């Protein structure tokens, strides 16, 4: 006998869609309504069968696993805690508490995603808004170096392209859409204007836009492969729209100047507010990476790449960020929470991670877990555990328990490890 | 069981003005001596010391989305102000945007035990409550911003008062808030169009006939009808502008006798001066406050030094960015609010900053009734709350005031009122403006005093001639009868409580709100409301009809 | 023997779907082990869809399947995932961020070149 459970919230990506429903039969999710193809797998691809924790591949009791994890962390000179972006804020808070108590370095996937956007915000500020403001008011949308068609599948329909809002009553028609990218994508197909930029040339293009917005005329024909005439037209639109927004992504954070690219965009957006209202929004990738930034900021003052080694928080991206800690071999034990750096990190970093004692908290057998000493199979927040996630615009949204399983949560496991290390 | 004996007790609510006496504590409350078994009680000898209720901060930006953006924005404010972990206590950072645990510790170290978070948009209330769970040693409440709320403005436009009233009642419970907060009514909405308001009768764009005056009057009436423990808490229009004193006085008049609290009044007490430098109009504003017993205020005193401005006043924050050139965060919140953050530095040598400093002190010294004027710096806007002891010294010690006055910009000194103001606050006055008075207008019956039944939130200070040193380093601080600080250093961490109200309302509003959500927001009502959820440490405070 | 290209990596729908099935799953492998190239570049290198190519960077190499894509000439795209990480250096230039986009690589036909899998 199946029942409908709602509301159901998906936290796969930064959209954190909270309008789903699930059909549950005998503690199994048989169908989910409303999820996109990327989020659906969170519910249907997850096997919540109870699994025991393992140490060196052998099943052990929870007490034994916790004791082993505590021993590894206490015995380390320089433990690293990493991941966090796919777990709830309640668990993130526990992770920071643990890092504080053992003097660990703690970092989230921000450092390989929107860390540069955070650095840009620290340098020049960030004029932003919540997604409802965009849906209701924005008549000019710019997607810069991002591809929501592939990464945030319901973004166009819920927020940025087609929905009808208070002042955008005609939906798509009321919006002018620009995309700046290095190649055509599913997103560029939806745009009114596609400006194809040369890889690594975003900074020059952004600076040129700032000049054009100020009424200056560059003495070149094109910048970064884009005709200046096209940029001049964009600049005019940027200044004269009613309410504009620039969504930005990895095209800016991962290329060439990284945080300097982002800072140039943030500065442009700041300056546009002298003429009209304009906001910028980083397209946060993972469902609760915004939460990781928030939790780390309120407990340490800094959003990622934090070290407690001296007994107080220190912030140093490039030094305490996980890739750097690993490739420099500056850490000798790792606790990986709801993340798979073994699969996603540059090989040299992943390789070193597989060589040091590692503890993993994850719902499935990740690549990282396959090289780990201690593995805790935990629940998925939003499926068989409830908790809080922060949407890409920083709105906190509850994740609900849809099915009852025997899985423990990341929060539970971390609490037990905290008790065991003291 | 605890006895604090032989100290000079300042408990203005109960008429004690420095008389030597004892305070007895049992099970977290103040009790009579008869209820104590002296053999088993811990006795603190407070001979030569001053005993006061724990401090009550009526307005401070300490938690939530805006504050946390401020933390993320300012690594440069944190560096060099770190606090190392000690025993079981957490590490973190101090400075003008301290981390949550450290905020609790810093307040303990000053003898404060209750703090009100000054402004949270209900859409992000859940975030505020999460941070409050990570803030020990304090009882707290959250003020919920409503002055630019679309549902309320629609009700005003459509002249549907009861609908607005039921919505506000629902909203307070849904956000587990403590009070109605109004920030630049109408102006924050207009900022979403790149504009602002300048007069009480300016129209809010998109809301025909809705004005700041109506927003204030409606919410003040709702506050009374719901019997909320606090009064509407108002950050008025024109903050920072030379028209502010005039419109502050007009806003007071617009209340037509209804009770309200005006926050960080200093920032709203300016007139036009020469050469673009504002003048302090503290005299004019103080006169209006004195003449209207329905009004309470907190000052928002400026402290010379670097700090971080952060308010829900979006257009104000943009103009601060324009005038200072400093980095700027803005956050427009759908259907209800906005805000921004800009770092700032107040310099004694700067004529405008010096005038602001003067305006705050003048207000303190010209408002007659200490029960209606409270000590704040609008942390961190005027300066960090850790500088409250400096303000206390300025109020109590005219010589110190004169010394500081001599060091401020010469132009600002010329013709300033401050040198003529001889008044010095007494310890009793300080106990009122930092404890008894705020507790009373907040409707916190068990706080701010040491009568039998009061919460055992107690601060014991050494009676030092340097009043700043005295109040910066209490000898003992108790929260609910437990020692949390000793000699100005935190020694224990206890969970505090989050006080909230959930006034009754006509249930039919719920279906309307559900419909409204579908068009006004981008998340579901179920995600928005914390109504049915348990917030750790939350405690409901009853509403009652106004007497 | 190969030609110099600029590599970008990124998210795709199929990579996300494959992710939930597990990184050892055929869906994930298929979704993350191809390289998109422009038609001109493929023709010049004598490649057809499905041909195996070797991609080398300063950090390492990977064997991927060529596929015609909408990238401009000179650019190649590989979905983020386990395959491509052999190529990404762990050098972050002090930013914490490795060069997941804009990396110089050499692409050449693999031995046995031009055969469809």
- Span A37-94, pLDDT tens digits: 999 999 998 998 989 999 999 999 999 999 999 999 999 999 999 999 999 999 999 9
| DSSP H or E segment with residue A4 | strand A2-8
Out of A12, A119, A346, name the one closest to residue C85 (CB): A346
Contacts of B411 (CB under 8 A, 6+ apart): B277, B351, B354
Rounded CA-CA distance B329/B69 in Å is 8
Closest CA to A4 of A30, A19, A28, A23: A23
Q: Write down the number of H helices and E strands in chain A.
A: 17, 22
Rounded CA-CA distance B462/B476 in Å is 9
> How many folded domains does chain C comprise?
1
Contacts of B539 (CB under 8 A, 6+ apart): B497, B498, B499, B500
Domain ranges of chain A: 51-110+287-378+408-421, 115-282
For range B189-217, the mean pLDDT = 98
**Chain A closest-CA separation from residue B63 CA (Å):** 8
The parent domain of residue C37 ranges over 3-109
pLDDT in tens, B242-257: 999 999 999 999 999 9
CB atoms within 10 A of CB B502: 18
| Tokens of residue B460, six digits | 């014991």
What is the band of A253 on the pLDDT scale with cuts at 50, 70, 90? Answer: very high
**Chain A closest-CA separation from residue C77 CA (Å):** 9
SS3 B57: strand
So what's the pLDDT on residue B85? Answer: 97
Give me the DSSP letters along C78-112: EESSTTGGGTS-S--TTTT----EEEEEEEEEPTT
- Answer yes or no: is pLDDT of A292 > 70: yes
- Answer yes or no: is pLDDT of C115 > 50: no
* Radius of gyration of chain B measured on its C-alpha atoms: 22
Contacts of B82 (CB under 8 A, 6+ apart): A312, A313, A314, B91, B92, B93, B94
- Chain C residue closest in CA terms to A44: C20
| Tokens of residue B495, six digits | 């969970």
- Answer yes or no: is pLDDT of C117 > 80: no
Chain C contact set for A183 (CB, 8 A): 8, 69-72, 75, 77
Burial class from Cβ neighbours inside 10 Å (0-12, 13-18, 19+) for residue A156 reads: buried
For residue B53, CA distances in Å to B194, B376, B417, B461 come to 46, 17, 33, 11
| This prediction's pTM | 0.97
So what's the pLDDT on residue B546? Answer: 42
At residue A3, what are phi and psi to the nearest 5 degrees?
-125, 155
**Cβ–Cβ gap C85/A150 under 8 Å:** no
B106 touches chain A (CB under 8 A): no
pLDDT in tens, A130-162: 999 999 999 999 999 999 999 999 999 999 999
**Lowest-pLDDT range of A196-200, A309-313, C79-83:** C79-83
What is the bridge-based pairing of β-strands A222-223 and A176-181? unpaired
So what's the pLDDT on residue C1? Answer: 59
A107 touches chain B (CB under 8 A): no
What is the band of B547 on the pLDDT scale with cuts at 50, 70, 90? Answer: very low
| Tokens of residue B380, six digits | 């961190």
- Chain B residue closest in CA terms to A315: B75
Burial class from Cβ neighbours inside 10 Å (0-12, 13-18, 19+) for residue B529 reads: buried
pLDDT in tens, B129-183: 999 999 999 999 999 999 999 999 999 999 999 999 999 999 999 999 999 999 9
Q: Which fold has domain A115-282?
A: Dimethylsulfoxide Reductase; domain 2 (3.40.228)
Residues written for chain B: 547
Chain A contact set for C94 (CB, 8 A): 317-319
- Chain B residue closest in CA terms to A263: B327
For range C99-111, the mean pLDDT = 93
Contacts of B246 (CB under 8 A, 6+ apart): B271, B281
| Tokens of residue B386, six digits | 């850790």
Torsion from C-alpha of B16, B17, B21, B24, nearest 10 degrees: 50
For range B462-467, the mean pLDDT = 97
- Answer yes or no: is pLDDT of C89 > 90: yes
So what's the pLDDT on residue B9? Answer: 98
ipTM: 0.98
Rounded CA-CA distance A7/A271 in Å is 41
- Answer yes or no: is pLDDT of B71 > 50: yes
| Tokens of residue A155, six digits | 């973004």
CB B177 within 8 A of CB B120: yes
CB B4 within 8 A of CB B460: yes
Per the DSSP assignment, residues forming a β-bridge with B373 are B297
For range C5-18, the mean pLDDT = 93
Contacts of B155 (CB under 8 A, 6+ apart): B161, B163, B164, B167, B218
Do the domain assignments include residue C55?
yes
**Cβ–Cβ gap A123/B327 under 8 Å:** yes
So what's the pLDDT on residue A305? Answer: 98
Closest CA to B355 of B287, B272, B291: B272
At residue A243, what are phi and psi to the nearest 5 degrees?
-160, 115
So what's the pLDDT on residue C112? Answer: 57
What is the band of B530 on the pLDDT scale with cuts at 50, 70, 90? Answer: confident
CATH for A51-110+287-378+408-421 is 3.40.50.740
CB A48 within 8 A of CB A40: no
Full strand arrangement of the beta sheet holding A243-248: A193-196, A176-181, A140-144, A243-248, A277-282
| DSSP H or E segment with residue B92 | strand B92-93
pLDDT in tens, B21-57: 999 999 999 999 999 999 999 999 999 999 999 999 9
SS3 C40: helix
For range B115-142, the mean pLDDT = 97
Rounded CA-CA distance A213/B86 in Å is 52
So what's the pLDDT on residue B66? Answer: 98
What is the bridge-based pairing of β-strands B49-53 and B42-45? unpaired
Do the domain assignments include residue C86?
yes
Rounded CA-CA distance A253/A286 in Å is 15
Rounded CA-CA distance B428/B434 in Å is 10
CATH of the domain at C19: 2.40.40.20
CB B126 within 8 A of CB A16: no
What residues 86-105 of chain A have any CB closer than 8 A to a CB of chain B? 89, 93, 97, 100-101
**Cβ–Cβ gap B68/A298 under 8 Å:** yes
Closest CA to B29 of B377, B352, B456, B441: B456
| Tokens of residue B277, six digits | 């430098």
- Answer yes or no: is pLDDT of C116 > 90: no
Helix orientation angle between A115-124 and B65-73, rounded to the nearest 10 degrees: 90
- Answer yes or no: is pLDDT of C90 > 90: yes
Judged by 3 or more CB pairs under 8 A, whether C touches B is no
Rounded CA-CA distance A287/A297 in Å is 18
Contacts of B15 (CB under 8 A, 6+ apart): none
CB A318 within 8 A of CB A324: yes
Q: Is the dihedral of CA A137, A139, A144, A147 positive or negative?
A: positive
Chain B contact set for A128 (CB, 8 A): 329-332
Give me the DSSP letters along A136-162: HH-SEEEEES--HHHH-TTHIIIIISS
| Tokens of residue A117, six digits | 């956007």
What is the band of A246 on the pLDDT scale with cuts at 50, 70, 90? Answer: very high
Helix orientation angle between B212-226 and B244-254, rounded to the nearest 10 degrees: 40
CB B368 within 8 A of CB B292: no
SS3 B202: coil
For range B207-219, the mean pLDDT = 98
What residues 173-232 of chain A have any CB closer than 8 A to a CB of chain B? none
pLDDT in tens, B253-303: 999 999 999 999 999 999 999 888 899 999 999 999 999 999 999 999 999
CB A60 within 8 A of CB A71: no
CB atoms within 10 A of CB C60: 16
What residues 27-86 of chain C have any CB closer than 8 A to a CB of chain A? 59-60, 69-72, 75, 77, 80-82, 85-86
Burial class from Cβ neighbours inside 10 Å (0-12, 13-18, 19+) for residue B538 reads: middle
For range A401-411, the mean pLDDT = 96
Rounded CA-CA distance B306/B342 in Å is 11
Buried b / exposed e along A112-133 (16+ C-beta atoms within 10 A): bbbbbbbbbbbbbbbbbbbbbb
CB B181 within 8 A of CB B118: yes
Do the domain assignments include residue C22?
yes
For an interface test with C, give the residue of A254, A282, A328, A340 to mutate (most C CBs within 10 A).
Answer: A254
pLDDT in tens, B325-354: 999 999 999 999 999 999 999 999 999 999
**Cβ–Cβ gap C101/A199 under 8 Å:** yes
**Cβ–Cβ gap C92/A116 under 8 Å:** no
Apex A244 CA angle, A241 and A246, nearest 5: 140
Out of A133, A302, A396, name the one closest to residue B75 (CB): A302
Do the domain assignments include residue C116?
no
CB B60 within 8 A of CB B387: no
Rounded CA-CA distance A266/B20 in Å is 61
So what's the pLDDT on residue B477? Answer: 98
| Tokens of residue B77, six digits | 């404010």
pLDDT in tens, A157-184: 999 999 999 999 999 999 999 999 999 9
């Amino acid at each position: 006998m199946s029942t409908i459970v709602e509301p159901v919230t998906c936290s796969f990506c930064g959209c954190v869609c909270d309008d789903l429903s699930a059909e549950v039969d005998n503690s199994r999710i048989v169908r989910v309504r409303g999820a996109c193809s990327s989020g659906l797998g969170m519910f249907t691809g997850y096997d919540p069968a109870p699994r025991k924790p393992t140490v060196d591949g052998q099943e052990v009791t929870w007490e034994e696993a916790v004791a082993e994890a505590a021993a590894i962390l206490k015995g380390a000179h320089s433990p690293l805690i990493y991941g966090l972006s796919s777990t709830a804020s309640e668990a993130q808070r526990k992770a920071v508490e643990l890092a504080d108590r053992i003097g660990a370095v703690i970092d989230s996937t921000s450092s390989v995603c929107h860390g540069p956007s955070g650095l840009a915000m620290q340098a020049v500020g960030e004029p932003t808004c919540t997604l409802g403001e965009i849906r209701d008011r924005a008549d000019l949308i710019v997607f810069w170096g991002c591809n929501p068609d592939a990464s945030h599948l319901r973004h166009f329909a819920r927020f940025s392209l087609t929905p009808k809002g208070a002042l955008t009553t005609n939906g798509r028609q009321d919006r002018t859409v620009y995309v700046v990218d290095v190649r055509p994508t599913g997103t560029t197909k939806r745009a009114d204007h596609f400006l194809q930029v040369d890889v690594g040339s975003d900074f020059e293009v952004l600076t040129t836009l700032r000049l054009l917005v100020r009424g200056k005329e560059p003495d070149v024909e094109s910048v970064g492969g884009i005709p200046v005439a096209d940029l001049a037209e964009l600049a005019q639109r940027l200044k004269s729209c009613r309410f504009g927004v620039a969504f930005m992504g990895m095209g800016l954070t991962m290329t060439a100047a990284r945080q300097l690219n982002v800072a140039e965009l943030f500065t442009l957006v700041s300056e546009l507010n002298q003429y009209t209202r304009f906001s910028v929004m980083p397209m946060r990738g993972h469902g609760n990476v915004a939460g990781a930034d928030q939790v780390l900021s309120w407990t340490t003052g800094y959003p990622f790449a934090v070290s407690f080694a001296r007994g107080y928080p220190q912030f140093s991206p490039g030094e305490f960020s996980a890739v750097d800690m690993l490739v420099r071999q500056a850490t000798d034990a790792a606790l990986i929470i709801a993340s798979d750096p073994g699969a996603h990190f540059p090989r040299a970093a992943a390789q070193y991670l597989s060589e040091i004692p590692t503890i993993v908290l994850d719902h499935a057998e990740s690549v990282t877990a396959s090289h780990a000493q201690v593995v805790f199979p935990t629940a998925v927040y939003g499926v068989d555990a409830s908790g809080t996630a922060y949407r890409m615009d920083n709105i906190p949204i509850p994740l609900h328990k849809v099915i009852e399983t025997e899985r423990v949560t990341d929060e539970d496991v971390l609490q037990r490890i905290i008790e065991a290390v003291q | 069981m605890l006895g604090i004996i032989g100290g000079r007790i300042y408990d203005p609510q109960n008429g004690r003005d420095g008389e030597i006496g004892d305070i007895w504590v049992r099970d977290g409350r103040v009790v009579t001596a008869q209820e104590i078994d002296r053999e088993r009680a811990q006795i603190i000898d407070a001979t030569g010391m001053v005993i006061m209720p724990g401090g009550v901060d009526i307005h401070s930006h300490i938690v939530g989305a805006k504050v946390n953006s401020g933390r993320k924005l300012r690594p440069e404010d944190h560096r060099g102000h770190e606090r190392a972990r000690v025993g079981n206590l957490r590490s973190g950072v101090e400075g003008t945007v301290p981390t949550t645990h450290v905020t609790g510790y810093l307040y303990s170290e000053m003898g404060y035990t209750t703090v009100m978070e000054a402004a949270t948009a209900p859409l992000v209330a859940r975030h505020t409550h999460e941070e409050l769970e990570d803030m020990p040693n304090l009882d707290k409440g959250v003020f919920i911003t409503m002055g630019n709320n679309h549902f309320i403005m629609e009700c005003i436009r459509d002249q549907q008062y009861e609908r607005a009233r039921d919505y506000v009642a629902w909203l307070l419970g849904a956000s587990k808030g403590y009070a109605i907060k109004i920030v630049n009514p109408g102006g924050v909405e207009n900022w979403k169009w790149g504009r602002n308001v300048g007069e009480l009768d300016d129209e809010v764009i998109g809301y025909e006939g809705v004005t700041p005056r109506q927003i204030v009057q409606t919410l003040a009436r709702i506050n009374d009808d719901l019997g909320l423990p606090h009064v509407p808490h108002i950050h008025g229009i024109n903050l920072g502008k030379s028209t502010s004193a005039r419109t502050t006085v007009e806003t007071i008049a617009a209340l037509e006798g209804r009770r309200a609290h005006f926050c960080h009044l200093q920032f709203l007490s300016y007139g036009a001066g020469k050469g673009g430098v504002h003048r302090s109009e503290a005299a004019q504003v103080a006169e209006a406050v004195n003449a209207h017993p329905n009004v309470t205020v907190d000052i928002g005193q400026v402290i010379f030094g670097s700090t971080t401005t952060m308010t829900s006043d979006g257009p104000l924050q943009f103009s601060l960015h324009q005038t200072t050139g400093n980095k700027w965060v803005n956050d427009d919140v759908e259907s209800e609010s906005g805000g921004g953050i800009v770092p700032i530095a107040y310099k004694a040598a700067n004529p405008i900053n010096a005038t602001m400093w003067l305006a705050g002190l003048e207000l303190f010294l010209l408002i007659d009734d200490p029960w209606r004027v409270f000590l704040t710096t609008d942390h961190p806007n005027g300066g960090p709350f850790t500088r409250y002891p400096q303000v206390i010294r300025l109020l109590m010690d005219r010589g110190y005031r004169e010394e500081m006055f001599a060091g401020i910009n010469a132009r600002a000194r010329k013709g300033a009122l401050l040198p003529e103001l001889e008044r010095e606050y007494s310890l009793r006055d300080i106990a009122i403006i930092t404890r008894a008075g705020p507790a009373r207008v907040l409707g916190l019956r068990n706080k701010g005093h040491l009568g039998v039944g009061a919460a055992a939130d107690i601060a014991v200070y050494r009676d030092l001639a340097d009043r700043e040193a005295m109040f910066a380093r209490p000898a003992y601080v108790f929260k609910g009868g437990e020692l949390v600080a000793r000699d100005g250093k935190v020694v224990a961490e206890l969970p505090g409580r989050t006080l909230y109200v959930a006034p009754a309302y006509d249930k039919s509003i719920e279906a309307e709100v559900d419909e409204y959500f579908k068009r006004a927001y981008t998340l579901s009502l179920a995600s928005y409301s914390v109504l049915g959820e348990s917030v750790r440490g939350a405690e409901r405070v009853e509403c009652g009809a106004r007497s | 023997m190969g030609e110099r290209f600029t590599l970008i990596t990124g998210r795709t729908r199929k990579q996300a779907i494959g992710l939930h099935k597990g990184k050892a799953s055929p869906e994930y492998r298929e979704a993350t082990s191809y390289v998109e190239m422009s038609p001109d570049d493929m023709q010049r290198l004598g490649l057809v869809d499905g041909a195996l190519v070797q991609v080398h960077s300063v950090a390492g190499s990977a064997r991927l399947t060529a596929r015609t894509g909408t990238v401009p000439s000179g650019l190649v795209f590989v979905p983020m995932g386990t395959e491509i990480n052999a190529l990404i250096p762990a050098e972050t230039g002090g930013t914490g961020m490795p060069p997941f986009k804009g990396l110089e690589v050499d692409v050449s036909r693999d031995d046995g070149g031009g055969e469809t899998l």
